[in-house]
Structure 1
Amino acid sequence: MTARREVPLGTVQETLLIPLYGRAVENRKPEPALRDPRAEEIVAAIDYDFARFDGLPSLMGSVLRTALFDQWVSDFLADRPEGTVVELGTGLNTRYERVGNGRARWFELDLPDVVDLRRSFFTDGARRTTIAASVTDRSWADTVASGSAAPYFFAAEAVLPFLAEEDVRRVIGGIAERFPGSLLALDTAGPGMVDAQDEHDALSKVEARMRWACAGPAGIADWHPGVEVLASHSISALPSPLFDRLPGPYREMLSGLAQQRLPQVEEYRLNLLRLP
């Protein structure tokens, strides 16, 4: 019997296991919001108490967030099939397997301990490169710039809320300066959600805590004149093309959430920006 891989991750890095498990659980459903057999394989190979997340609504939320980010990347590649995708804080994401087209240049960035874990399951290729660095360390941009060409799509999924606001400003400002005109997908958590995160169904199971409270993407546009907000959605108000493809139970659930307008749902936004 093959030994399961231990996961000696840092506090914030541990949160990557939540969306991983969400996708694995989703893949077992007869009608999933997305398919991810690799996530199931990875969960089975890791020595971790995933049962602590069983039945949590946030698992479903993480799957829907990933599905929307997948859609944005797919739309980008449909228009620019030889563009460049950069995943910031990639964790154990499998977006390359789900939506990669074999022509785009793809970079997956995360901290060294996460990259060490990733290398147990993924290998680099001619068009796929892993970078071991902090998102706040601007040196990674040199690697991306030297091995790729515009246009660029940057995906920061479940990453930036765990940074201090000044670090988020520097990260976004650095991308805008080095890769002008690029697209950036990111999630934001409002002040009420950050203040109440000790009661959050999933975050209460881990030690990591969000540090950056953002009322909405308009605030980011105020930091950097010229930023264009292309889209901003709550989990309960996903764009029609994605919503219409979801299984019936998901559509019913989301319609109910939209009517309730729960602050903890509405304050969490999924955003697509074009940087100046």
Structure 2
Amino acid sequence: MTKEKINLGDVQETLLIPLYYRSLEAQRENPRIDASYDVDLVNKLDYDFSKFTGKLSMEGCVVRSIILDRETQKYINEHPSCIVLNFGCGLCTRTQRLDIKDSKWYNFDFPDTIELRNKLVKEKPNCYNISKSMLDETWPLEVNASADEDILVIVEGVFMYLTEADIKKFINIIQSNYKKVFALIEINPTIVVNNSKYHDSVKETSATFKWGIKYGKDLEKLDKGIKYLEEWNYFDYYENQGILFNIATKISLLKNLSYKIASYEFTAKSE
């Protein structure tokens, strides 16, 4: 079988990290997520995955999949005909794991990533891949949705590579086109900014971190139309990493150094 060669930008290359770690999880005796589809994708790629050896990165990628799968399915169950906007989709295989019911699912990413995705991922009906940046103000034109429909926004593994100005622009695009959306966003801790070279997996790429916040609620400071709802700390979901690690992650000061998934409500700006 001829494997697909990888030719991606610096940030785009990081999409291979969660793909690989999900595939490893799938091959465990008792996997916590059904990522068998990811194993097949990894086997189709001509890439040296062996350089990714981060134990904590693997746990983080699996944990965020567990949380996002659960919360996404919960939203779809409650809004079976919703619109899902998945930004920085990479080779996300969430639609393969979930019952997406009658929802319409839009995957957004850079052209090189979408080109690779179109070659490898067989989409379910009502799933669409869009070659546009989340900062492109024209991306809402690609979405068949009225301003007041039930809309779920997913941003996974993306915000850390953006500047605060970029994030404000992205939120403004949403607020300018939709009355209200529910958002699930991966929040990276402030400490990771300027420390990409120490990350146990990202250091193997040329990508760099640019943004982080200490608490999920801190995102509200960017715009009055942002309402923080809830967050899930990765450390609460980690499997046994040893006695010292388990004790340390119960200390609030250290726990706040963890990545999180946070939920929000974004509302349109008042006229």
User: Is the structural similarity TM-score above 0.5?
Assistant: yes
Q: 1:273 aligns with which of 249, 264, 268?
A: 264
Paired residue secondary structure (2:30): coil
- 2:14 maps to a residue whose letter is T
Letter in 2 for 1:205: E
User: Alignment partner of 2:23: what SS?
Assistant: helix
Contact 1:160 1:212 in 2 (8 A): yes
Aligned residue in 2 for 1:207:
206
What letter matches 1:270 in structure 2? I
- Give the direction of change, closer, same or farther, for the CA distance of 1:201–1:126 in structure 2 (3 Å limit): closer
The answer to whether the 8 A contact 2:182-2:263 is kept is: yes
Paired position in structure 2 for 1:156: 155
> How far apart are 1:268 and its partner, in Å?
2.2
Code of the residue aligned with 1:72 in structure 2: it is: E
How far, CA to CA, are the matches of 1:126 and 1:38 in structure 2?
17
1:255-270 superposed matches below 5 A: 255-256=246-247, 258-259=249-250, 263=254, 266-270=257-261
Which one has the bigger helix percentage? 1
TM-score, normalised by the number of residues in structure 1 = 0.88
Supply the distance in 1 between the matched residues of 2:103 and 2:234 (Cα, whole angstroms): 28
Structure 1 partner of 2:22: 23
**How far apart are 1:120 and its partner, in Å?**
1.2
In 1, Cα distance between equivalents of 2:145 and 2:236: 38
Q: 1:44 to 1:264 in 2, by over 3 A?
A: farther
CA contact (8 A) 1:235 1:266 kept: no
- The answer as to whether partners of 2:148 and 2:180 remain within 8 angstroms in 1 is no
Cα distance 1:175–1:254, how it changes in 2: closer, same or farther (>3 A)? farther
C-alpha separation between the residues in 2 aligned to 1:217 and 1:262? 15
Distance change (3 Å), C-alpha of 1:149 and 1:274:
closer
Q: Give the alignment's TM-score, normalised by structure 2.
A: 0.90
Amino acid at match of 1:94: T
Q: Aligned-pair distance for 1:60?
A: 1.3
Give the equivalent residue in structure 2 for 1:106: 105
Between 1:38-47 and 1:194-203, the stretch displaced more is 194-203
User: Is 1:185 the counterpart of 2:184 in the alignment?
Assistant: yes
- Once residues 72 and 113 of structure 2 are traced to their aligned partners in structure 1, the CA distance between those partners, rounded to angstroms, is 22
- Determine helix, strand or coil for the equivalent of 1:31: coil
Q: Distance in 2 between matches of 1:250 and 1:80?
A: 37
Number of residues paired by the alignment? 267
User: Take 2:167 and 2:153, find their aligned partners in 1: how far apart are those partners?
Assistant: 14
1:65 — aligned with what?
Answer: 64
Compared with structure 1, are the counterparts of its residues 257 and 68 closer, same or farther at alpha carbon in structure 2 (3 Å cutoff)? farther
Query: Tell me, which stretches of 5 or more residues in structure 1 are unaligned?
Result: none
- List structure 1 runs of 4+ shifted beyond 6 angstroms: 250-254
**SS of the residue aligned with 2:85?**
strand
Q: Mark the CA change 1:267 to 1:142 in structure 2 (over 3 Å): closer, same or farther.
A: same
> 1:225 aligns to what?
224
C-alpha deviation, 1:126, in angstroms: 4.3
Partner residue in 2 for 1:80:
79
Aligned residues of 1:109 and 1:135 also touching (Cα < 8 A): yes
Give how far 1:116 is off.
0.6
Q: Aligned-residue CA RMSD in angstroms?
A: 2.5
Change (3 A) 1:79 1:252: farther
Q: Does structure 1 conserve the Cα–Cα contact (< 8 Å) formed by 2:160 and 2:188?
A: yes
Cα deviation code 1:17-45 (max 9, x no counterpart): 00000110000011112011110000011
Which deviations, in whole Å up to 9, do the C-alpha atoms of 1:76-108 show, x marking residues without a partner?
Answer: 011011111111010001011111334111111
- Contact (CA 8 Å) 2:219, 2:228: kept in 1 or not? no
- Cα deviation, 1:187-215, whole Å, max 9, x if unaligned, reads 12222221333111111111101111222
TM superposition shift of 1:267? 4.2
Q: Whole-Å Cα distance in 1 between the matches of residues 244 and 227 of structure 2? A: 31
Contact 1:236 1:254 in 2 (8 A): no
Q: 1:55–1:158: structure 2 CA closer, same or farther, 3 Å change rule? A: closer
SS in 1 for 2:76: helix
Amino acid at match of 1:39: D
Structure 1 residues 86-145: Cα deviation after superposition (integer angstroms, max 9, x where no partner): 110100010111113341111111110001100112245641111001111021111114
* Greater mean alpha carbon deviation, residues 172-181 or residues 112-121: 172-181
Say if 1:153 and 1:182, in contact at 8 Å, map to a contact too.
Answer: yes
Q: 1:43 to 1:80 in 2, by over 3 A?
A: same
Correspondence 1:165 to 2:164: yes
